Amino acid sequence: MKQRDRAWRGRMFVRMLWRAALVRRSRTITALAAMAIAATVATALLNLYADAQQKLRAEFRGYGANLVVTAKDGEELGSKVVSELLASKEFRAVPYAYVIARTANDLRGAPVVVVGTEVAAAKAMNATWWRTSPVGGDLAMSTEIAGAMFGERAFKTLAHGSAPVELWFAGKSLSVLPLAALNTGGDEDDRIYVDLGALEKWTKVSATTVEIATDGTPEQIKATMARLRGQFPAANVQAIRQIVEGEANVLAKTRSTLLLATSIVVLTAALCVLATLLSWVLDRRRDFAVMKALGASQRLITAFFATEASLIGSLGALGGFALGVITAMAIGRASFHASVAPQFMLLPVMMAAGAGLALLAALAPMAMLRRIQPAAILKGE
């Protein structure tokens, strides 16, 4: 008997909730909508906050290398160190060897810095600021001639159209064919870039520097440096401070701006929801009074309103979360051309926050209403 009674009460409770939502449909919808809007904004901003920094860090890799490994005291690095660095899956690395060659086999020849590197990899690492343009050289099938990328000024000074240029180093010569001109506005403009293998064969000089572009927070970059120092005790591992510190600074500022903007918007959204829900609860004073007049206990009434509020809060938050993720993805695509990964960990947080907010809005006036006699409300005072 008692069990049936409890089951009946349970059904009645659900029915009351359901009817309350249906009968006051537009009020329910308004409350839900307010909750959903707030949750949308909060979700979108929090998603962006989490992901935008990573996207921006990737953007900063356009500056090129942020670490440089050199041999101590101007020695060569050794092929073992170079090949181990180049084989890393964790970061991109490009080797460099430098010689000063002349355009003739005596001191009358003009000196020029010739750089041996993996030209394609170097171009890829510095894609945003290495501007190359073809200059018409066509690489014939000959082992005697090497293709070269000429810095813009080196090309203007030393090359004659697309004819091969003879370079001398320690009594040995190499013919290089200008394939492309490179413009950076920096020292690169005055140099000639050839394949590292060709340079090694010609001058017997091998790589002295490996430039590394690694992605990560300042702490992660420090950890990578420490690991490389341990792995190659004979080499100097240094951060390119210009790049690393500039990046850290700009990212920190962006993060603070995003964080402040996000918290202001989320806080405001929460306050607006609180205001809407408060008026929704105050509007239900009559229901409250009728229930009390019919003999409902204070506990039952509180439980009823609490359930209703937390349902509205969490359902609104659920809908808002979905909309927010879509918004964040759209913003991510528009500003980074890459979609923002949804943070599903946020979902339970948002739902709990929604329910909490709604409970706060429901239970605060409840304490106030408890003292009022139902008769007074019902009479319309």
Partner 1 sequence: MTMFARLLMQSFLRQRRRKLLAWLAITLGVAVATAMIGVATDIGDKMNRELRQFGANIVVTPQDAGLNVKIGGLDVAPVSEHGYLRESDLPRIKTIFWGNNILGFAPMLSTRAVAIKAGDQSFDAPIVGTYFSKQIIAGKQSYTEGVRQTHPWWKVAGEWPRDDSTEVLAGEILAARSGWHAGERVKIGGHEALVTGIVSADAETNAQIVVPLALVQQIAGQPGAVGRIYVSALTKPEDDFARRDPRSLSPADHDRWYCSPYANSIAFQLEETLPNARAAQIRQVAQNEGRVLARISGLMLLLALAALIASGLAVSAAMATSVFERRGEIGLMKAIGAGRVAIAALFATEAAALALMGGLVGFAAGSLMARGIGTAVFNSRISVEPATLPIVLGIALAVTLAGSVTSIRRAVQLSPAIVLRG
Which of 240, 326, 349, 378 touches partner 1 (CB under 8 A)? 240
Which of 133, 220, 257, 373 touches partner 1 (CB under 8 A)? 257
Is residue 80 within the footprint of partner 1 (CB under 8 A)?
A: no
**DSSP-derived 3-state class of residue 9:** helix
Class of residue 144 by CB neighbours under 10 A (exposed 0-12, middle 13-18, buried 19+): exposed
Span interacting with partner 1, options 63-71, 85-93, 159-167, 347-355, rule CB under 8 A: 63-71
Cβ-based neighbours of 209, under 8 Å, separated by 6 or more: 68, 69, 70, 71, 77, 95, 96, 97, 98
Contact 281, 326 (CB under 8 A): no
Nearer to partner 1 by Cβ, of 5 and 237: the residue is 237
Span interacting with partner 1, options 3-11, 48-56, 76-84, 287-295, rule CB under 8 A: 48-56
Is residue 372 within the footprint of partner 1 (CB under 8 A)?
A: no
CB of 183 to partner 1, least distance (A): 7
Nearer to partner 1 by Cβ, of 220 and 242: the residue is 242
Span interacting with partner 1, options 11-19, 106-114, 219-227, 288-296, rule CB under 8 A: 106-114
Is residue 184 within the footprint of partner 1 (CB under 8 A)?
A: yes
Contact 147, 195 (CB under 8 A): yes
CB of 5 to partner 1, least distance (A): 33
Is residue 246 within the footprint of partner 1 (CB under 8 A)?
A: yes
Is residue 133 within the footprint of partner 1 (CB under 8 A)?
A: no
Which of 250, 293, 303, 364 touches partner 1 (CB under 8 A)? 250
Nearer to partner 1 by Cβ, of 53 and 300: the residue is 53
Q: How many residues bind partner 1 (CB under 8 A)?
A: 78
Contact 91, 271 (CB under 8 A): no
Is residue 143 within the footprint of partner 1 (CB under 8 A)?
A: no
**CA 163 to CA 176: how far, in whole Å?**
9
Residues 28-47 that bind partner 1 (CB under 8 A): 30, 33-34, 37-38, 40-41, 44-45
CB of 297 to partner 1, least distance (A): 26
Span interacting with partner 1, options 23-31, 81-89, 172-180, 366-374, rule CB under 8 A: 23-31
Residue tagged 């790049």 (tokens): 243
Span interacting with partner 1, options 137-145, 166-174, 219-227, 278-286, rule CB under 8 A: 278-286
Contact 180, 174 (CB under 8 A): no
Class of residue 221 by CB neighbours under 10 A (exposed 0-12, middle 13-18, buried 19+): buried
Contact 69, 209 (CB under 8 A): yes
Is residue 278 within the footprint of partner 1 (CB under 8 A)?
A: yes
**CA 236 to CA 78: how far, in whole Å?**
13
Sign of CA dihedral 173, 176, 181, 182: negative
**DSSP-derived 3-state class of residue 58:** helix
Is residue 64 within the footprint of partner 1 (CB under 8 A)?
A: yes
Nearer to partner 1 by Cβ, of 67 and 82: the residue is 67
Which of 136, 245, 297, 376 touches partner 1 (CB under 8 A)? 245
Span interacting with partner 1, options 1-9, 61-69, 171-179, 353-361, rule CB under 8 A: 61-69
Is residue 377 within the footprint of partner 1 (CB under 8 A)?
A: no
CB of 65 to partner 1, least distance (A): 10
Cβ-based neighbours of 205, under 8 Å, separated by 6 or more: 76, 97, 98, 99, 116, 199
Contact 321, 43 (CB under 8 A): yes
- With CA atoms as reference, report the closest residue to 306 among 372, 364, 363, 367: 363
Binding mask 258-277 for partner 1 (x = CB under 8 A): x-xx--xx--xx-xx--xx-
The two tokens of residue 141 are 């099938």
Which of 334, 345, 367, 368 touches partner 1 (CB under 8 A)? 334
Is residue 112 within the footprint of partner 1 (CB under 8 A)?
A: yes
Q: What are phi and psi of 194, to 5 degrees?
A: -130, 170
